[in-house]
Structure 1
């Protein structure tokens, strides 16, 4: 298995600890990362940049090396509670497929208490449990992330009205004065969605994705009827703030939307 696919596979496995239903894991990943669902589903198929690898590790609360783990896929990954120095922590655990009763009293085992897995030393229960092959304490989960929309427009009046609508609908608008300013900022902090109302929007959208090191979901304002290209993250809409907001909401709902 190639590395991008391996990272995606491990991401899916880890998400299973947070969202049991495979159908909802893309939505869960989008929620945790604060990104559009289309982008989240892409990451569940392959992850090709170090930047995204580090982001995934951060929101899942594990080291990046965990997402590079090539252990067999049949090993079950669960979310559990573990006691460390008298305090209990949430963790992600890799469990063997059989119940064991070890000789060593300090061996970590997992037991399912109702709907939650509990991990403790064998000496505390003295009963057979699932072998813990690996354990990672969850250090942080990102939630309630603000949806950032970068905007570049040659039409100052339209820009002012659009930014007001974005703010009213729970989006954090970042207005750029020029293409150079936009690309420089995206290289540091990629937005959730980019809105372009410029003559060279197509070329600029490609440059934005290159600067970010990943596909940037881009809404291009145009007077022509054009078909969307979700794979490349390219969407087209006429110059109408209401239509833009409808499309934007489908890509990335605002905090109050």
Structure 2
């Protein structure tokens, strides 16, 4: 049995049309709302992607800037290194000072400044302060360990020099570390150890023989058969 709605057929039709219009309006409104939500999401995604891109660009610029600074300081260090080996100690120290102003953790600059001071004025405290600072930053830096031994040797503190030369050999096999040890034993007239370490140096670099020929430190042992057998 059907249910009869009150009112005329015309009123029923009008009511149906109104309900239909309302339903369609609701559907359209929801569609518009969903479209807005979708746009907001898309806009947010675009914004996030742009922020990420900008962050990556900024990071890349920072990385390039750091690389350029490192390259510049390395070039300056190379100049200081060459100046030191040219016996221009003041110039080497000045460049090292500038490097340290730019990078207070530059262990290479502290090291080269320290050994330059050692040769310039034979001041143990000043030289070792810089070399120790280098080793504080990088404990296994072989060149600083070698230079600490060399500084002690320059000042006649041979036991301390041998200690640090041996510490250098813990991290590298540097030809002039062997040579330095040989020269100390040569001064002491210790033929066996002089020959032992000098041979190690020669095995690493045969040009060491040229330096050894005029090395006064080897005079106390130069006439021994073992030393002569090195072919110097």
Q: Shared fold by TM > 0.5?
A: no
TM-score, length of structure 1 as denominator length? 0.22
TM-score, length of structure 2 as denominator length? 0.23
Higher RCO (Cα < 8 Å, 6 or more apart): 1
Hey, which of these two has a bigger chunk of helix by percent? 2
Between structure 1 and structure 2, the one with the greater Rg is: 2
